[in-house]
Amino acid sequence: MSRDHKRIVVTGMGINTPIGDTLDAFYANLLAGKSAISKWSFEGDHDVYSKVGGDLRGYDAKARVIALKDKLPPATHKRLRQLVKKAPFSTKISAIVAADAWIDAGLVGSEERLDPTRRATLIGGHNLNERYFARNYETFLEEPDYIDSMAALLMLDTDHAGTVSEVLGNKGAAYTLGGACASANIGLRSAIDEIRHHDHDIVALVGAVLDFSAMGPQAMALMGAITIESYNETPEIASRPYDAAREGFVPSHGAACLILEELGHAMERGARIYGEVLGCTSTSDGSHLPSPSMEGQARTVARLLKSCEIRPEQIDFVCAHATSTPLGDLSEINALKSVFGDHAYKLKINAPKSMLGHTCWSAPAVETVAAMLQMQGRKLHPSINVFNIDPEIDLDVCANEAVDHEIDIMLKNSFGFGGLNCCALFKRFDPNSY
């Protein structure tokens, strides 16, 4: 098989959000329409305009690591325990979701039989340890010698790649990719390249938590990007893609890991397969501004379909970017109409961010896990908080109710600040096609 035609599948997943840190709990809460959004706490920063978000700061990483003791070899568990103990918050979560995905992929215990130099580690995200950096800088201003002695290493995004590689024993390529809210999909695009063109059999792709400092959401608020006015006392209804009263996205914590594998390698070891990756395409709007471009989004989707040799009418589900911004939601809907024409009205579309909030750099990976679970479960989660649908949004957005639906081919959209567009296609795996 030529490198260009190597088929790639998803064989393992890990998740960590405020509504679930296991796949079963996460999917059940999505189907139930449970909101991850609550009131933020920015450690006494009462002047921060952003009051609500999906907050994982109280997450008990130690307890989760202990829970994995019987699922990992003693040496691997020891590495995980030691690394999580010393790591900043976001890096802890990256290590845990990667271990969860490795277990889910059935790779535990087979590490010695699999060439570690053919296993890559990719991290989607940038400026990840924002709060860790901010807190150390505050300490530095008071007394320079009292900053974390490991800060020169731990504040780097690359520490995520190093930590995950060490936990899993991977010795192939390891690096980070930044593309704002498209970061994890850009990571997927590079994972495809690593398998097809750089002799890797397996890629662990982590969409890492953006650990907001108080300044991050404040800056978003000053830009007018996030909700800060109407829902501070009712945070569970603050994220409302497609609703006429939406006023901005809700920043949120969340992380996910996808284990991507060359199909022949997966079949040889008898792996369970969630779905097949058909392709991933990235474009830009040629602008640094955060304004969404319907033309740019449509161009990206159309280019993706063409490169994967998929006809628009073959797509039956869209896991939407849908951030709950007035312009962004409408732009994406109009882009879908532009690309799919009349078929757009036959699509099922839903908005994970209606429950999860916007997990920013990790959103494409977090939401791909949600989409894969829906593909397996044959039931789509609702887009919640659609109390009065925007009259300009006339497609089927699964408003407020879970829907039975068998996904064959699905589109995952992600559109980042600065016109960074990256979209992916996934297909239900047919074992008879191998």
Which residue among 221, 256, 275 closes a domain? 275
Q: What's phi and psi for 175, nearest 5 deg?
A: -165, 170
Same domain, 233 and 322: no
Distance CA 142, CA 408 (A): 57
Provide the strand spans (E) within 63-218.
Answer: 119-124, 174-177, 202-207
The helix/strand/coil state of 319 is strand
H or E segment at 426? strand 420-427
Measuring CA to CA, which residue among 115, 80, 125, 109 is closest to residue 202? 115
Distance CA 111, CA 233 (A): 49
Please say whether the beta carbons of 266 and 12 come within 8 A: no
Distance CA 46, CA 114 (A): 51
- Residue 168 domain-assigned? yes
Please say whether the beta carbons of 39 and 235 come within 8 A: yes
Domain of residue 46: give its range: 7-275
Residue-level pLDDT at 1: 47
β-strand pairing of 202-207 with 317-319: unpaired
Which residue among 248, 275, 302 closes a domain? 275
Same domain, 105 and 223: yes
Same domain, 231 and 296: no
Same domain, 229 and 368: no
Same domain, 105 and 189: yes
Residue partners of 305: CB distance under 8 A and separation at least 6: 311, 312, 315, 339, 425
The helix/strand/coil state of 38 is strand
Per-residue pLDDT of 199-240, as tens digits, reads: 999 999 999 999 999 999 999 999 999 999 999 999 999 999
Which residue among 238, 259, 275 closes a domain? 275
Three-state secondary structure of 165-209: HHHHCCCCCEEEECCHHHHHHHHHHHHHHHHHHCCCCEEEEEECC
Measuring CA to CA, which residue among 287, 280, 359, 369 is closest to residue 322? 359
Same domain, 295 and 250: no
Residue-level pLDDT at 161: 98
Same domain, 156 and 169: yes
Measuring CA to CA, which residue among 374, 400, 408 is closest to residue 28? 374
- Residue 285 domain-assigned? yes
Per-residue pLDDT of 66-110, as tens digits, reads: 999 999 999 999 999 999 999 999 999 999 999 999 999 999 987
Residue-level pLDDT at 2: 52
Please say whether the beta carbons of 269 and 12 come within 8 A: no
Query: Can you read off the two tokens belonging to residue 2?
Result: 């030529």
The number of folded domains in the chain is: 2
Query: Can you read off the two tokens belonging to residue 379?
Result: 């039931």
Same domain, 224 and 85: yes
- Residue 195 domain-assigned? yes
- Residue 194 domain-assigned? yes
H or E segment at 42? none
H or E segment at 133? helix 130-142
Please say whether the beta carbons of 385 and 240 come within 8 A: yes
The helix/strand/coil state of 407 is coil
Measuring CA to CA, which residue among 278, 371, 221 is closest to residue 6? 278
Q: CATH code at 99?
A: 3.40.47.10
- Residue 2 domain-assigned? no
Same domain, 92 and 209: yes
- Residue 91 domain-assigned? yes
- Residue 188 domain-assigned? yes
For residue 254, CA distances in Å to 14, 18, 176, 209 come to 11, 7, 17, 5
- Residue 57 domain-assigned? yes
Q: What's phi and psi for 261, nearest 5 deg?
A: -145, 145
Same domain, 295 and 230: no
H or E segment at 293? none
Same domain, 219 and 351: no
The helix/strand/coil state of 274 is coil
Which pLDDT tens digits describe the chain residue by residue (434 residues)?
A: 455 689 999 999 999 999 999 999 999 999 999 999 999 986 666 789 999 999 999 999 999 999 999 999 999 999 999 999 999 999 999 999 999 999 999 999 877 789 999 999 999 999 999 999 999 999 999 999 999 999 999 999 999 999 999 999 999 999 999 999 999 999 999 999 999 999 999 999 999 999 999 999 999 999 999 999 999 999 999 999 999 999 999 999 999 999 999 999 999 999 999 999 999 999 999 988 888 899 999 999 999 999 999 999 999 999 999 999 999 999 999 999 999 999 999 999 999 999 999 999 999 999 999 999 999 999 999 999 999 999 999 999 999 999 999 999 999 999 999 899 999 999 999 998 88
H or E segment at 348? strand 348-350
Same domain, 166 and 255: yes
Distance CA 207, CA 93 (A): 10
